[in-house]
Every structure is written in C-alpha cells, then in structure tokens.
Structure 1
C-alpha cells in the first residue's frame, strides 16, 4: 500500500507573513518551541525560515530586529501535497538535500514534513529518530 505525506507530516504549521519582523518571528519560535516556520505572502507559501537563518542570515549579517523575515527566508521552497507518495518525496528531499518541506493544499500550508518525522516513523532506532522524539531542551 502506498503511504502518503499526510500520514507523517506535522499538521497545522505556524505561518508568518513575509513582512513580519525578525523579532516577531524569533518570539514565535521561542514561544512555540519550534525551529522553523512557513513564510507566506497573502497566505500563499513563498518560503521557509529556520532558527539558523535568523542567526546566519540575520544577526551575523547585521540586520536589525525590525527587518522583514522575507529578507532572510529561503524563497521558492520545495513544496509537496498531502496525497503525494512518501517514497517520491523522500527521494526528492534526498536529491535536493532539504530537511523540511511545507505541505501545501490549495495554495495554503497544511503541514510540514521533516527528516525528523521521516526518521521517527521509518527508522525508529536511529539517532535522528531519538533526537526528534526527545523533549525539547529548556
């Protein structure tokens, strides 16, 4: 039986607008204890931003806290649909060396699929699965 992205994705991702400030985005990540957010413009997915992006593309480059997140987000991200074949998506993620992909339906983000999600389900004894399933550090 073919498995689909919807079976493993994390549903209801947090979405921020391209105009949201780096400060607001960092606060959202801290409050929700997450390391990546989907970036949208008028609701349509246009990018993804990680905590590493905030540091490397924002702080290290001297951008202020009021800079828009769109200025540091990875634009034009690989996206997948909830009904996409999981094997195909894993292959594409591997080929393009991406760690997470927004799951989009009707132009809107409905989930995120990460390598941690994949490891926890498909390779549960791996170190990545253990790390992904562990509680967050305080």
Structure 2
C-alpha cells in the first residue's frame, strides 16, 4: 500500500482532479464528501474515456459524476484478499479505508514491488485477460 491517499472533494471538477493527479504523480484519487468520507474513486482513465472521449468538458464535470461504486480494503485485508478483490472487480487500484476515510492506495506498482514474479504474472493475467 502507498500510504496517504489524497482525496478530491466530490464537488471539484475533473480538470482539477487531473491537476491533482499530475501534481501527486498518481493515477487515481478517492472522492470524498464534505465530511471527508470516501464515496468513490476516479482514475485518469475515467477522465479520458468517460469524460473527454464522450465530448464532455472536464472543467464542467464534477468528480462525483464519475465516482460510481466503491471497492475497498481495510488495513487488515490480506494480500490474497486484496488481489481477489482487484481481480473480481477488474480494478488496478484499491483504496485502503479505515472509518470511511482513505488511508492509502494499493496500485499495480505496489504489487510489482512486493509480489513474487509468478504471483504478479497471475494477477496481471486475470485482470487484463477479461478487460
């Protein structure tokens, strides 16, 4: 897990989300409500495919408009459980949550750094094979 996932407020626009991703060198951001609770997640791919490619203006679409559904792990989720969640939901980033707040993010880069090659290869095959 990469600790310290920065949230973007649900009311912020996607152009601001893209700027935060660039500045933080990340590809995903948790979306938070006014109380700081995570309500979803958006990725750089969401912005491109579900906003820009569909002809929408990222300066007028809110983060909450794309943040649908939330799959997450808790701090005590095992590696095997996290991999199973990511494979089942075909996701490449998994927020780690505690008390409805993001405390970190598990990404493909984290997996690449910490998994044995055979386990990483199996994960990649399962996630990308159905994509």
Note whether the superposition's TM-score is higher than 0.5.
yes
Normalising by structure 1, what TM-score? 0.77
Pick from 21, 37, 42 the counterpart of residue 29 of structure 1: 21
Question: What is the CA–CA distance in structure 2 between the aligned matches of 1:125 and 1:93, rounded to whole Å?
Answer: 17
Question: What is the CA–CA distance in structure 1 between the aligned matches of 2:74 and 2:17, rounded to whole Å?
Answer: 25
Give yes or no for contact 1:77–1:101 (8 Å, CA) kept in 2: no
Question: What is the CA–CA distance in structure 2 between the aligned matches of 1:39 and 1:93, rounded to whole Å?
Answer: 19
Question: What is the CA–CA distance in structure 1 between the aligned matches of 2:120 and 2:97, rounded to whole Å?
Answer: 29
Q: CA deviation at 1:98?
A: 1.5
Are residue 79 (structure 1) and residue 79 (structure 2) matched? no
Pick from 100, 107, 112 the counterpart of residue 107 of structure 1: 100
C-alpha distance 26-98 of structure 1, shift in aligned 2 (>3 A) = same
Give the secondary-structure state (helix, strand or coil) at the position aligned to 1:80: coil
Give yes or no for contact 2:111–2:120 (8 Å, CA) kept in 1: no
Q: CA deviation at 1:125?
A: 8.6
Q: CA deviation at 1:124?
A: 5.3
More helix by share: 2
Pick from 61, 83, 99 the counterpart of residue 67 of structure 1: 61
Question: What is the CA–CA distance in structure 2 between the aligned matches of 1:87 and 1:22, rounded to whole Å?
Answer: 33
Normalising by structure 2, what TM-score? 0.81
Q: CA deviation at 1:126?
A: 9.2
Q: CA deviation at 1:14?
A: 1.4
Give the secondary-structure state (helix, strand or coil) at the position aligned to 2:102: strand
Give yes or no for contact 2:12–2:62 (8 Å, CA) kept in 1: yes
Q: Which blocks of at least 5 consecutive residues in structure 1 are unaligned?
A: 1-8, 129-138
Q: Which blocks of at least 5 consecutive residues in structure 2 are unaligned?
A: 122-131
Are residue 10 (structure 1) and residue 2 (structure 2) matched? yes
